[in-house]
A = this chain, B = another copy of it.
Amino acid sequence: MEWDDCTVKASTDSASARPTIYDVAHRAGVSKSLVSLVLRGSPNVSDPRREAVQAAIDELGYRPSRAASALAANRTQSIGLLIDDFHNPWFVEVLRGLRSVLDPAGWNISVADLQLEALSGRNPLDGFLAMHVDGLIIAAEPHAAPPLRNLDVPFVVAGVRELDSGPADVVASDEVQGAGLAVEHLVQLGHRRIAHLSGTGGSAKARLDGYLRSVRAAGLEPLVVGESGDTTEEAGYTAARELFSGHDGVTAVFAANDTMALGALAALKEHGLRTPEDVSVVGYDNTPLAESRYLDLTSIDSHNASIGSEAARALLGRIAEPSAPRRQLLLAPSLMARGSTAAPPS
């Protein structure tokens, strides 16, 4: 992609002072108020005037000052996105979804992650509150996030279901259903001994629920390991190793996420078991990891971009109507079948 200079409008020949709304008005031969109206796309401006103003804006390379408009309007037209960890790339799609609805409306998004924020020792929302965001998207496990109870800025929780805290707008994936998809896929392939690698946290819990429900619905015996551990690769490795040391006859493993599935793959390799010939493996989240040709991991996709766009719409709605009733939206996930699953050995 090529970026030409027209939009950057670097240091002009004249003095370095950035043009103000005043300069634009002067050049267009109108008053500052009119420029302000054009900027905000008011319909009450005649076409010739509008064009004159736009021309002046372009010629001057005018760029409205966010600071000034925030101060005057008492709103920043910006929202904050709080995520768990920049290393966990699920937020990228969420952000893309957010932007697809927020960008056209002229909103600014800033992102903070709990891991990095924790270094500073401040409340992770401090930065957002200092910059006076008009709204917040919380895309982190509520238990890890700061208390949201009596926050006076509109917010919506995205991606994770707020299990414990007070009522909030929530846009999330139906993870119980997603886990069901994984189990049903394995059942249809002919597996009868399907183990689940679980862990702590709201998502893991929902996925466990879905696993239990579907396994029982299929008339099978559940087998869960690692329920009280992390959801890291290491935890997946440990849990899977335990699985294949003790319980025999397991032909399929459903991991609470792709990272744990990676750990399971390591354990299988160590035990001399092949994937998918000996043991099928299913992950969750459909990360780039799963898509990788080397891993080629069957996984569940939560459609994070949709979660983002719906969350944006929900937030805009709440900002416009702070007292509207809370809404919770659950989106249906889908299965991405890949090479890590196959029929069990006969």
Which residues of B lie under 8 Å from residue A110 when comparing CB positions? 110-111
Which of A123-131, A169-177, A181-189, A190-198 sits within the interface?
A123-131
Q: Is the CB of B119 within 8 A of A103?
A: yes
Query: Contact between A67 and B132 (Cβ–Cβ < 8 Å)?
Result: yes
- Bound together, the chains give a CA A266 to CA B291 distance in angstroms of 12
B66 with A130: CB separation less than 8 A: yes
Kindly list chain B residues whose C-beta atoms are within 8 Å of the C-beta of A3. Answer: 123-124, 145-147
Given the complex of chains A and B, what is the CA–CA distance between A276 and B153 in angstroms?
A: 55
Other A-B contacts than A8-B129, A67-B67, A266-B293, 8 sampled, CB-CB below 8 A, are A4-B147, A7-B126, A65-B130, A66-B130, A67-B131, A86-B89, A86-B95, A96-B119
Tell me if A262 is interfacial: C-beta within 8 Å of chain B.
yes
Q: Chain B: which residue is nearest A85 at the CB level?
A: B92
Total interface residues on A, CB under 8 Å, equals: 66
Give the CA-CA distance A129 to B3 in the complex, in Å.
15
Residues of B within 8 A of A145 (CB): 3
- The complex places the Cα of A110 from the Cα of B112 at a distance, in Å, of 9
* Residues of A participating in the B interface, judged by any CB pair closer than 8 Å: 1, 3-5, 7-8, 10-11, 16, 63-68, 70-71, 76, 86-87, 89, 91-92, 95-96, 99-100, 103, 108, 110-111, 116, 118-120, 122-127, 129-132, 144-147, 149-152, 233-234, 237, 262-263, 265-266, 269, 288-289, 292-294
A58 to chain B, nearest CB (A): 14
The answer to whether residues A233 and B99 also contact, given A66-B131, A67-B76, A67-B132 and a CB cut-off of 8 A, is: no
- From A67, A68, A103, A145, name the one whose CB has the most chain B CB atoms within 10 angstroms: A67
In the complex, the answer to whether A293 meets B131 with C-beta atoms within 8 Å is: no
A281 vs chain B, min Cβ distance (A): 11
Contact of A11 among B71, B125, B152, B262 (CB under 8 A): B152
Q: State whether B132 touches A262 (Cβ < 8 A).
A: no
- 8 A–B contacts from the bound complex (CB under 8 Å): A3-B145, A8-B123, A8-B151, A67-B132, A86-B92, A87-B288, A92-B116, A103-B119
